[in-house]
A and B are shown apart, each in its own frame.
Chain A
Amino acid sequence: MLAFAIRRLLQSIAVLFVMSALVFVGVYAIGNPVDILINPQADQAEIAAATRALGLDQPLWRQYWSFLAGALAGDLGKSFAANIPAVQLILERMPATLELALGAMVIAVVLGIPLGLWAGLRPDSVSGRVIMAGSILGFSLPTFWVGLMLIMVFSVWLGWLPPTGRGETVKVLGVTVSFLTWDGLQHLFMPALNLALFKLSLLIRLTRAGTREALAQDYVRFARAKGLTMERVVRVHVLKNIMIPVVTVTGLEFGSLIAFAIVTETIFAWPGMGKLLIDSINVLDRPVIVAYLLIIVLLFVLINLIVDLAYTALDPRVRLAGRST
């Protein structure tokens, strides 16, 4: 287990290095931010001064070297547009994105697992078919368009929910959150639902498939033969066994929720780091783009690592298989 953990950790670090080089070369190989940042009437001397001040006159490898040294110290340069450290800018926006992603995950899990279980227990019933058809639709619906339609229905027609922003926030342990105020919760609901839709469909399918598979197993038949009620069989035997894949996928999908939050945040003007990325791309604010990407890569690598380790710890079969090889 320890050897496995160390090997996975080293792999993760290698991935981080490769990605940082790719991101750096990619983002720095194009365009010249000086053209965008300074007054178009500026003369050659002013342009040269600005280029020097931003460190853009150095050769690429030296820029990467100072970037890498800075990155390890948590310093990825200042945002060209906001003139504050890029990492700080992103970390300020991160709680909003995490709150949105967590909200979406809660909706997906709370609705997805019971619906999937229902559809799995009654695969041929009308309700089971409707749930499955709904999940196919959920896979096919373009997320951004659903977001617009949610605003249309709930904000414009019904006037129930506010279309944009985060609403009233409170600080808990220094972190700004929306979900503890009624106003904030109202603002959170629609974007979280929008973001949850795809994962909800995924969880429904996963739970349904797992349930159907578990129901055909001997231990379920045995439990039924023993005279246990169907309710107890489902709660104790079926649920327990479908939880491993469900927990794994939920964990792995958390990273992609943060990535897809880019779209949802743009629609609902949710002030998270995804919206920041789009704004930064539009003004070619490279330090922010690079910092965002590195933080996202770090998050992904961390999530994958944690899920892998948790999976190994949870499922004895994986552990045993790992030992025998």
Chain B
Amino acid sequence: MVTVTAQTPIREFTASFSRDRIAVTAFAVLCLILLAAIGAPLISPQDPYDLAQLDILDSKLAPGAKAGAGFTFWLGSDDQGRDMVSAILYGLRISLGVGALATVIALALGMAIGLISAYAGGWLDSLIMRLVDLQLSFPSILIALVLLAVVGQGVDKIVIALITVQWAYYARTVRGAALVERRKEYVDAARVMAFSTGRIVFRHILPNVLPPLIVVATVQVAHAIALEATLSFLGLGMPITSPSLGLLISNGFAHLLSGRYWISFFPGIALLATIVAINLVGDRLRDVLNPRLGSHYGT
């Protein structure tokens, strides 16, 4: 229960969030995954991309087999004799990194465009919203594929593709929320105080449109990670020098028919766990940050 004396927004938010056991578990799993990804060089048994540490005699070993170097391949090894645990931890780093980077940039971009759209109104607003509608009427994978077909491959290219796919969601969300906020009394009050438009938008409206934006962003991070994996699997995403989870799964595809399931299976489980955890946390965030309940946030 929430104590009445300590009613700060953050505390209330934490208390409200932790009322759902599944969401708390998902959050814990997500933190573990993040820690594992960040600490990959420290906790993985080998550096999977240091060729000196790989032994071709260890290749395609089943889960639980002993490596020549002494440690155990708990999740097996791939065709290069690479430990799958290490490969997955390093792959998580890349997948999460790309997903998060693309989301942050798309968030900033979408937020700016949405705020401009809401505040400018008129033809600019309708032009931007037409563009958003047009883009959202096509599946994201198609847009990303076209873009990658046009600009070619590379880490920067895939980040650009993910941003292009995502910005429209944020722009629409921010515009909708900002249109509601700007009609409220505190904005009138700020205007009476002769604050500049910039100050009203960034200091007053922005904090109040953040809650719905955070919810959309959580879901979009999961989408971005899944999309990057799919594109990498199709051979149009990450280059071979940045082996994300999607590339690991793609690599295992070649060995699937000979029964060596672990090269594709375990990276997929890591991907699935990440996406499910993010989605469950996002679901709970949506309930907690619901505008009807969240009167304590912002100003």
CB pair B152–A163 under 8 Å, yes or no, is no
Closest chain B CB from A78 CB (angstroms): 19
Closest chain B CB from A15 CB (angstroms): 7
- Binary contact readout A123-145 vs B (1 if CB under 8 angstroms, 0 otherwise): 00000000000001101111111
CB pair A152–B261 under 8 Å, yes or no, is yes
CB pair A281–B142 under 8 Å, yes or no, is no
CB pair B271–A145 under 8 Å, yes or no, is yes
Decide yes or no whether A262 CB sits under 8 A from chain B. Answer: yes
Closest chain A CB from B260 CB (angstroms): 10
CB pair A31–B152 under 8 Å, yes or no, is yes
CB pair B279–A148 under 8 Å, yes or no, is no
State A149–B271 Cα separation when bound (angstroms). 14
CB pair B256–A145 under 8 Å, yes or no, is no
CB pair A260–B249 under 8 Å, yes or no, is no
Decide yes or no whether B149 CB sits under 8 A from chain A. Answer: yes
Binding site for B on A (CB under 8 A): 15, 18, 23, 26-27, 29-31, 136-137, 139-145, 148-149, 151-152, 155-157, 163, 255-256, 259-260, 262-263, 266-267, 277-278, 281-282, 289, 293, 296, 300, 304
CB pair A260–B257 under 8 Å, yes or no, is no
Residues in chain B near residue A148, CB distance under 8 A: 249, 252-253, 256, 264, 268
A30-B151, A142-B226 given as contacts; is B234 within 8 A of A263 (CB)?
Answer: yes
State A30–B152 Cα separation when bound (angstroms). 9
Decide yes or no whether B101 CB sits under 8 A from chain A. Answer: no
Closest to B273 in A: A140
CB pair B229–A142 under 8 Å, yes or no, is yes
Residues in chain B near residue A262, CB distance under 8 A: 141-142, 145, 234
State A278–B150 Cα separation when bound (angstroms). 13
CB pair A266–B234 under 8 Å, yes or no, is yes
Closest chain A CB from B28 CB (angstroms): 17
CB pair A142–B230 under 8 Å, yes or no, is yes
CB pair A300–B137 under 8 Å, yes or no, is yes
A137-B276, A145-B271 given as contacts; is B149 within 8 A of A289 (CB)?
Answer: yes
9 closest cross-chain pairs (CB), A and B? A145-B268, A259-B139, A26-B150, A256-B139, A259-B142, A281-B149, A140-B276, A140-B275, A144-B233
State A23–B147 Cα separation when bound (angstroms). 9
CB pair B272–A141 under 8 Å, yes or no, is yes
Decide yes or no whether B222 CB sits under 8 A from chain A. Answer: yes
Which of A27, A137, A156 makes the CB contact (< 8 A) with B150?
A: A27
* A–B pairs, 17, beta carbons within 8 Å: A15-B134, A18-B134, A136-B276, A136-B280, A137-B276, A140-B222, A140-B275, A142-B271, A148-B256, A149-B265, A151-B256, A262-B141, A263-B141, A267-B253, A277-B145, A281-B148, A300-B138
Decide yes or no whether B198 CB sits under 8 A from chain A. Answer: no
A151-B257, A266-B234 given as contacts; is B279 within 8 A of A142 (CB)?
Answer: no
Closest chain A CB from B284 CB (angstroms): 13
CB pair A149–B268 under 8 Å, yes or no, is yes
Decide yes or no whether B235 CB sits under 8 A from chain A. Answer: yes
Decide yes or no whether B259 CB sits under 8 A from chain A. Answer: yes
Residues in chain A near residue B249, CB distance under 8 A: 144-145, 148
CB pair A23–B275 under 8 Å, yes or no, is no
Closest to A255 in B: B139
Closest chain B CB from A133 CB (angstroms): 10
State A266–B235 Cα separation when bound (angstroms). 10
CB pair A282–B271 under 8 Å, yes or no, is no
7 new A-B contacts at CB < 8 Å, known A142-B268, A278-B234, A289-B149: A15-B134, A23-B146, A144-B230, A148-B268, A149-B268, A260-B141, A281-B148
